[in-house]
Amino acid sequence: MTPNRLAFDHTVIAALHLPDPVVQPGLSMAFLEDYVLANVAVFAQAGIPAVKLQDQTRAAGPASIATVARTTALGRLIRREYPGLALGIIVQAHDAESPIAIAEACGASFVRLKVYVGAVMSSEGQKSALCVAARAYRQAAGADGVAILADIHDRTSLPIAGVPQPQAAKWAVDMGADGLVITGSDFDDSLARIRALRTAGIKAPVLVGGGVDAGNIGRALAEAAGVVVSTSIMRSDAGANDPLKWDLDKCHRLMDAAKA
């Protein structure tokens, strides 16, 4: 199976978050399959070219066997039903290898790793760089076709030792990241951080990781290689057990604004 490659050319990536198993325990695979297909259908109908499947299972260590199995199965379902979409994988657990293994197994074309270089402090404790293990595993697995998107100082954590963001970005590129994800405290801060990377000579593709909506996506794509979007295109009236979480009209408006 040959995955549709992620294009670093003003692309839009919809983040499909799976239900949090702590908040909604006991959901069956049948429900998760319906959930995934219902929401990917919305993204595809709106013309969104890429989807990132995001597991929400928190773990103190690497991703569990159950997480790997479940996410792989759902990823293959997406690839089979929507072969034209570029598919990405992210897992909540701090794990360098599982996302790449899942991507390789289900035919996804990219992964997102939140702590790729340096070290951070998050609400879950200290986390250290995944870059060495991720790069080594990708090579050993023959998964060179799986692109790595590396977050640089994601807003959900604080960098330890005060490493400047441009320096961290340079480290990430040197350690094999194919693209960088920047998510500032708000949308304007994200753009300011991207400009700072360009001023520092970082030439790798950079994506805006949050705060994007139909009103500002034009500004984002004028300065970034792409965007990751989710919250602004979600339904406001979806119930807790409603499998359809994303709004087709909002997705259409987002893509119309992106094309404009």
What is each CA distance from 174 to 119, 230, 237, in whole angstroms?
Answer: 16, 29, 44
What residue ranges define each of the domains in the chain, with the CATH number in brackets?
A: 11-259 (3.20.20.70)
What DSSP character marks residue 233? Answer: G
Give the pLDDT confidence score for residue 122 in this predicted structure: 86
| Helix 98-106 / helix 65-81 crossing angle, nearest 10 deg | 30
Band the pLDDT of 60: cuts 50, 70, 90: confident
Longest CA span, the chain: 49
Mean pLDDT in residue range 168-174: 97
Q: What is the pLDDT of residue 3?
A: 65
Percent of the chain with pLDDT over 90: 87
Question: Residue 196 belongs to what H/E stretch?
Answer: helix 187-199
List, for residues 127-149, the tens digit of each pLDDT value: 999 999 999 999 999 999 999 99
pLDDT, position 41: 98
**pLDDT at residue 1 in the model:** 45
Neighbours of 28 (CB within 10 A): 8
Q: What is the pLDDT of residues 211-250, one digit of tens each?
A: 999 999 999 999 999 999 999 999 999 988 899 999 999 9
Q: What's the pLDDT score for residue 61?
A: 86
Encode pLDDT of 89-131 as tens digits: 999 999 999 999 999 999 999 999 999 999 999 888 899 999 9
More confident residue, 158 or 177: 177
